[in-house]
């Protein structure tokens, strides 16, 4: 996608759907890309609402264990209240500070998570076998796990929008600094994920919570701090995924429905969107199940096989050559991921919903 951003001389594809329209035609490109991109961005915002709310709840319970219990619903509302303000920032450049803070927070809370796990040591009755007791349960959990991985490595949906903010000239195209950014980003991602995954599983086995910081209790001040870092991280990330949605909704209202571009329009659109994602998060606050479901259903197409299909459609590499094989392997893997992961995620949501009292 970084390479395709400026592949037509003198033109930049600043939006995912513009690239889709170039590859598949004006109308078909829109119909293929926009619905999938919207599902991804709205899905991520819902998951971040749940994550922010749960981390605030854990912070409250850790800092004040003797205090009266407060419902998760209210913590999600508190988290959403920040976005009713931040959502009115004009563009990506204006949230760069929030974004940098989010990256620093990711590294910090991940380091705390594996550091505190090491300090806690291997648990007395730790088990490393499958969590499910039945073969069917194991298979469904595996599908859901694939969705979690798809969710974890899927920043592709906003890559063109981010690259569009980088200055570009024929001598110094934007893909130079963008490639450096992508490589650094994935190094940071690896530093965050691998120690947490390996050490967390070593210490807690299959009894580990979806969110490792919920499994950790002590030292209280450190776990509380880590949960606040998570909150700051998801505040920044929510905005990055919400910006393209605001852009799409406002463009449709102005260009198609002839609304006058104004501060009032922006105020209503953005507040409505934050309220909508908050309502869905309060209704279905199932972190693990949502990850698996959205990871497969929404992230797999736009991340793992749509860019490959666009590449094949535009560049037309030599049949059975390295590029051709690599892209087709990704397409087959991506389609399998899209079909299987939501089944596992949806089953997890249904199982959790059985014991859950809505809005309780």
Could you check whether the bond before residue 284 is cis, i.e. omega within 30 degrees of 0? no
- pLDDT for res 335: 87
Distance of alpha carbon 160 from alpha carbon 2, whole angstroms: 7
* pLDDT for residue 333: 86
CA distance to 184, 288, 301, 341, per residue, from 147 (Å): 24, 10, 12, 5
Sign of the four-CA dihedral 146, 150, 152, 153: positive
**How many CB atoms are located within 10 Å of the residue 125 CB?**
6
Give the chain's length.
Answer: 360
104, two tokens: 């620093």
Report the candidate in 339, 319, 341, 315 with the shortest Cα–Cα distance to residue 328.
319
Q: What whole-number distance in Å separates Cα of residue 70 and Cα of residue 48?
A: 19
How far does CA 331 lie from the centroid of its chain? 21
Instruction: Output b/e per residue, 219-234; b: 16+ Cβ within 10 A.
Output: eeebbbbbbbbbbbbb
Domain parsing of the chain, residue ranges: 31-164+173-354
Closest-CA residue to 299 (of 147, 142, 140)? 147
Q: Backbone dihedral region of 121: left (phi > 0), alpha (psi from -120 to 50 degrees) or beta?
A: left
Q: Which residues lie below 8 Å from residue 141, measured CB to CB, with a gap of 6+?
A: 130, 131, 132, 344, 348
Q: What is the DSSP string of 244-292?
A: HHHHHHHHIIIIIS-PPP-HHHHHHHHHHHHHHHHHHHHH---HHHHHH
Q: For residue 95, what pLDDT is reported?
A: 61
SS3 88: coil
State residue 193's pLDDT score.
83
Q: Copy the structure tokens of residue 130.
A: 């499958």
Q: Which residues of the chain have pLDDT under 70?
A: 90-96, 98, 154-155, 217, 287-292, 294-295, 355-360
pTM of the shown model? 0.75
CA–CA separation, 287 and 360 (whole Å): 17
pLDDT at 141: 79
Residues 6+ apart with CB under 8 A from 184: none
Neighbour tally for 358: CB within 10 Å: 10
């Amino acid at each position: 996608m970084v390479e395709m951003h400026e592949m037509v001389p003198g033109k930049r594809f600043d939006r995912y759907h513009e690239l889709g329209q170039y590859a598949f035609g004006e109308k078909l490109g829109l119909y293929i890309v926009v619905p999938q991109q919207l599902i991804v961005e709205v899905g991520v915002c819902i998951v971040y609402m749940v994550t922010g709310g749960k981390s605030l709840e854990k912070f409250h319970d850790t800092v004040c264990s003797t205090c009266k219990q407060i419902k998760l619903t209210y913590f999600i509302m508190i988290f959403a209240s920040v976005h009713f303000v931040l959502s009115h920032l004009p563009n990506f450049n204006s949230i760069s500070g929030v974004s940098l803070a989010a990256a620093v927070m990711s590294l910090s809370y991940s380091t705390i998570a594996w550091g505190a796990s090491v300090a806690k040591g291997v648990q007395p009755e730790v088990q490393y076998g499958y969590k499910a007791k039945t073969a069917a349960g194991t298979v469904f959990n595996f599908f859901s796990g694939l969705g979690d991985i798809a969710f974890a490595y899927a920043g592709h949906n906003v890559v063109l929008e981010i690259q569009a903010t980088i200055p570009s000239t024929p001598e110094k195209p934007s893909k130079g600094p963008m490639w450096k950014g992508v490589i650094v980003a994935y190094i940071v991602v690896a530093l965050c994920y691998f120690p947490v995954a390996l050490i967390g599983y070593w210490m807690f086995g299959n009894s580990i919570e979806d969110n490792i910081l919920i499994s950790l209790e002590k030292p209280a001040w450190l776990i509380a701090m880590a949960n606040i870092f998570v909150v700051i991280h998801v505040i920044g990330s929510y905005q990055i995924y919400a910006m393209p949605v605001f852009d799409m909704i406002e463009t449709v209202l102005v260009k198609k429905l002839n609304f006058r571009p104004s501060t009032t329009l922006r105020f209503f659109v953005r507040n409505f969107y934050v309220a909508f994602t908050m309502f869905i998060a309060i209704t279905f606050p199932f972190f693990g199940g949502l990850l698996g479901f959205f990871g497969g259903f929404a992230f797999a197409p736009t991340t793992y096989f749509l860019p490959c299909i666009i590449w094949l459609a535009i560049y037309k590499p030599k049949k059975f050559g390295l590029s051709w094989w690599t892209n087709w392997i990704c397409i087959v893997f991506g389609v399998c991921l899209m079909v299987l992961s939501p089944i596992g995620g949806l089953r997890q949501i249904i199982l959790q919903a059985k014991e859950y009292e809505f809005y309780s």
